[in-house]
Amino acid sequence: MRLLSIRLIVSLIVGITLVSLSSSYYEALGEKRGLRRDLERRAEVLGESLAGNVERDLEKDSVQDLQRIVQHFGNREHLSGLAIYGRQGDLLAVTPELASTLAAVSSVMSQALSENHGTGGFQRVGDASLHIYALPLHQHDEVIGGLAIVHDAGYIRAESLHIWRETFLRALAHVFLIVLITLLIVRWSIAGPIARTAQWMRALRTGRISSRQNATDLDLFRPLVREVAAFAESLTQARSAAETEARLRETGESLWTADRLAVHVRTRLNNGRLFVVSNREPYMHMRHGKSVEVIVPPSGVVTAIEPILRACDGTWIAHGNGDADLETVDEHDRLRVPPEDPHYSLRRVWLNKAEEEGYYYGFANEGIWPLCHIAHTRPIFRAEDWKYYQAVNLKFADALLEEMRDVEKPIVLVQDYHFALLPRLIKEKRPEARVAIFWHIPWPTPEAFDISPWRRELVDGLLGADLIGFHIQSHCNNFLQTVDRVVESRVDWEHFSVRRLDHLTLVRPFPISVDFTDVQRPESTPDSYTERSALLKALGVEATFMGVGVDRVDYTKGILERFLAIERFLEKYPLYQGQFTFVQIGAPSRSHLKRYHDLMAEVEAEADRINWRFQTDKWKPIVFLNRQHNHQEIQSYYRAADLCLVTSLHDGMNLVAKEFVAARHDERGVLILSCFTGAAHELRDALQINPYDINQTAEAIRVALEMDPEEKELRMQRMRKTVREHNVYRWAGSLIAELCELRLDASDESKEKPGASTAAWG
């Protein structure tokens, strides 16, 4: 740093000095030219003004009068003297001071007389610098003599030297001030931030602070800030992963982490490439004014799948629906992600409005979604929507096949009910590919599934996969019963597999979860009481107890039933009126569909009705926040709530329940959980309720608020252990491992048994 300062200071001194000297040179040169022009002009003016008088005296031949004129005008400023010559160039009158310069004056006069016009110039006579101007004198257009005017031009040089001296002193002062200011800037704005940044990076290297610490000094180095931040984050993650792995080895635990998942899958893939297909993309580009922002949609699937794709440089194929998505891809509709540290490819598929309406909003969300959820909403099946569903599945299949063209060992993981036809389409073109589909929503009973006019096509499409995953075993059972009822096949109930058209499909439960390590408690997080008070104050409510619910506004989530249970609770236990407030975070969902639009209005109306009945000036029982909330905001409510209500009427898993458990580092809080969720099969220590039984849910709220702290802690400890050990990375690892280990050639029935199979590759 000292060497940098010295170089900077020397460079400034040399540079400023050269610039100042150059500027001074041109300034002095200009001033000199101006003074010379001024002197020439004064000589001409003086000559013209004296010419008339001198001509009269010459005509009278009065030498005495001529001498008097010379003496009278010879003492002006910078004027050395005058000389008057006759017709033949003879000297008639002269200022005594010009005695030593008469030769030079006579020479100029001779030139003026011979050329018959005024002439002049600067001459050096001895040590003196003079300006001599000679003017012919006339009478009746005849030259009768001449007038010479001699000025002392030495003052011009003196003035130029003065300018040089002043400029030098000014430049010296400028150099001093600029060097001083530069030293201060270097010290305060460069040396200080560099030292603090180095200290920050040293602390990162030694593990004394988190990479998330606010290092505003890095803003000075904008070209480097992104790389430095990414480096710091990677270093922190690597250290955290190493510490976690060491701790797990020490305790003999087998906790799954993102790094362990990456290593696990890389081993299982055996140089294979993974391709993930989903409707929602992991990174979306949205226009914000004149700039483009990268949005990461909240999704547990992204959390689980991204480490795998990073490990094998895979490809994620998804619908590009960001308003700036098209501007950010190459000519093949691809881009590398994550933006700050690219490790895998995102291939975007484009859908027009009619395709999106028919395939996504129509068949998928007005048909399959209510069909699979027992929430008493009638599914709507339209032939037009079915055509779009088929067309979009084919469009995604074409994109996937294009990405897989030169890949020898493709592994395909399809996500959810949007792509039921995709496994069969892929297998028909690439039978050697390993294909799995995970169905994130429940699978209904065979009788319920019979409602679909295209049940055979949907089941046949799914059976193109080598592996079909559901959240829980009962969904697997329902699917196998549906297969047995709908298509010609052989169902093996012992091994939970289906053979159809000489193709074997395994059906397995893989309960999805959350990233438990992602919600570790920040060091500065306040206790639940303080955080609860702050949140309620921000909402304008005074209360002692707080409950929370976090859902998309969907008819499967039982939000209306939840509100009715809160109303019943306040009726039965009026002591809690003015004491208990329930905060419902309800993100709008598919709001342009009539059923969802009507539901939003119903939820708001029900909250208003209950509030109108019970509320006081400073309290109301229900706060409905109908907007999107980010992860940090939701975590605050999870940590602060006395209880969390999950009252889904039917749910494949419901990750809200697991998110709430993972967020409770204080091991307090009570989870009230619908028995119709997949999470209820794992979180046995939650207060499980039938959401249709309003009185039971109301009673569960009372029990949760009055539960002994020791029991709360014990229940939460057990649930946190379950979520911690069965996290989202374990889900992804189990799913990929099962897919990689099954045999594609399964003619030998004994090789179909899980656990006894070996990898078909390598």
Report DSSP letters for 301-337, one per residue: HHHHHHHHHHHHT-EEEEE--STTTGGGS-TTSEEEE
Q: In what order do the strands lie in the sheet with 467-470?
A: 334-337, 344-349, 315-319, 273-278, 410-415, 434-438, 467-470, 503-509, 497-500, 490-492
List the CATH code of the domain at 256-351+389-515.
3.40.50.2000
Contact, 436 vs 364, CB < 8 A?
A: no
Q: What are the residue ranges in the chain where pLDDT is below 50?
A: 211-213, 215, 250-252, 519, 746-762
Written in H, E and C, the secondary structure of 374-400 is: CCCCCCCCCHHHHHHHHHHHHHHHHHH
Give the CATH fold of the 527-726 domain. Answer: Rossmann fold (3.40.50)
Q: What is the pLDDT of residue 190?
A: 66
In three-state secondary structure terms, 4 is helix
Contact, 118 vs 134, CB < 8 A?
A: yes
Q: Token match 């959980």: residue?
A: 673
Identify how many contiguous H helices and E strands the chain contains and give both numbers: 23, 23
What is the 8-class DSSP label of residue 651? B
Structure tokens at 469: 């995953």
* 84 CB-side CA count, 13 A: 28
The type of residue at 388 is: Y
Q: What is the pLDDT of residue 524?
A: 55
Contact, 492 vs 503, CB < 8 A?
A: no
Q: What is the pLDDT of residue 223?
A: 54
Cα gap 528→626, rounded to integer Å: 24
Cα gap 409→269, rounded to integer Å: 9
Q: Where are the alpha helices (DSSP H) in 207-252?
A: 222-251
Q: Does domain 2-158 have CATH number 3.30.950.10?
A: no
Q: What is the pLDDT of residue 760?
A: 31
Q: What is the pLDDT of residue 326?
A: 93
Smallest CA-to-CA distance from 88 within 148, 142, 144, 149 is with 144
**Residues 6 or more apart whose Cβ sits within 8 Å of residue 375:** 555, 556, 649, 650
* 29 CB-side CA count, 13 A: 6
Structure tokens at 523: 């060091």
Angle at 236 between CA 230 and CA 242, to 5 degrees: 135
* 628 CB-side CA count, 13 A: 4
Task: Please give the sequence-ordered ranges of beta strands (E in DSSP) within 12-168, or none if there are none.
Answer: 79-85, 91-94, 119-125, 128-139, 142-152
Cα gap 655→665, rounded to integer Å: 17
pLDDT digits (tens, 9 = 90+) for 529-551: 889 999 999 999 999 999 999 99
Question: If 0-12 CB within 10 Å is exposed, 13-18 middle and 19+ buried, where does residue 316 land?
Answer: buried
From residue 644, alpha-carbon distances to 20, 513, 581, 614 in Å are 75, 17, 12, 21
**Residues 6 or more apart whose Cβ sits within 8 Å of residue 659:** 514, 519, 550, 634, 638
467: phi then psi, degrees, rounded to nearest 5: -145, 130
Q: What is the pLDDT of residue 230?
A: 61
Cα gap 224→232, rounded to integer Å: 12
Cβ atoms within 10 A of the Cβ of 420, count? 25
Strands 119-125 and 128-139: antiparallel
Strands 273-278 and 142-152: unpaired
Range 6-15, long-range pairs (CB < 8 A, 24+ positions): 8/182, 8/186, 9/179, 9/182, 9/183, 12/175, 12/178, 12/179, 12/182, 13/175, 13/179
Contact, 636 vs 531, CB < 8 A?
A: yes
Q: Where are the alpha helices (DSSP H) in 151-221?
A: 154-185, 192-206
Longest dimension (CA), the chain: 149
Q: Give just the sign of the alpha carbon dihedral 443, 449, 454, 456.
A: positive
Cα gap 645→653, rounded to integer Å: 15
Q: What is the pLDDT of residue 337?
A: 94
Task: Please give the sequence-ordered ranges of beta strands (E in DSSP) within 622-718, or none if there are none.
Answer: 622-625, 643-646, 670-674, 687-689
* 227 CB-side CA count, 13 A: 4
**Residues 6 or more apart whose Cβ sits within 8 Å of residue 222:** none
* 416 CB-side CA count, 13 A: 16
Smallest CA-to-CA distance from 671 within 710, 717, 716, 722 is with 716
From residue 46, alpha-carbon distances to 27, 78, 85, 147, 363 in Å are 29, 13, 17, 10, 106
Cα gap 507→439, rounded to integer Å: 11
pLDDT digits (tens, 9 = 90+) for 719-738: 999 999 999 999 999 999 99
Cβ atoms within 10 A of the Cβ of 577, count? 15
Strands 91-94 and 79-85: antiparallel
Structure tokens at 488: 């010609």
